[in-house]
Structure 1
Amino acid sequence: MKIWVNEQLDPAGLLYVCIACCDEQQAQDCRQSFEENLTQQQKSAGWIVRTRTVESWDEVPASALKLD
């Protein structure tokens, strides 16, 4: 099983928002939304959006919104 994890991280690398799902299209839509919701000021300060895949729900951060 492939689980897509989208994360929005602040400049210190702290996880701010995380959504995980099994649907690739839904994950791409989520990433696009995360990117669009970052202000130019946040981007300049070093905020990033990261997408990664994992193979188990155990590898998803506990604070994540999990969409199945």
Structure 2
Amino acid sequence: MSEKGCIKCGSQDAGEKEVAMTGTGLSKLFDVQHNQFIVVYCKNCGYSEFYNKESSASSNLLDLFFG
């Protein structure tokens, strides 16, 4: 059985961060950051995947990232 890891470099060293971003229209104009995401990233090569914070359970995100 092969080991799982980053799809770009194979590393198994990952981290996660929470980020907020503006949307379009008035939220962009007034810099209202109502879109929240969890970013799972490879600490070796920097490959990143964004997950919607409202629909994701952060405890399972590393499993999704590593397949």
TM-score under structure 1 length normalisation: 0.31
Structure with higher helix content? 1
Q: Which protein shows a greater Rg?
A: 2
TM-score under structure 2 length normalisation: 0.31
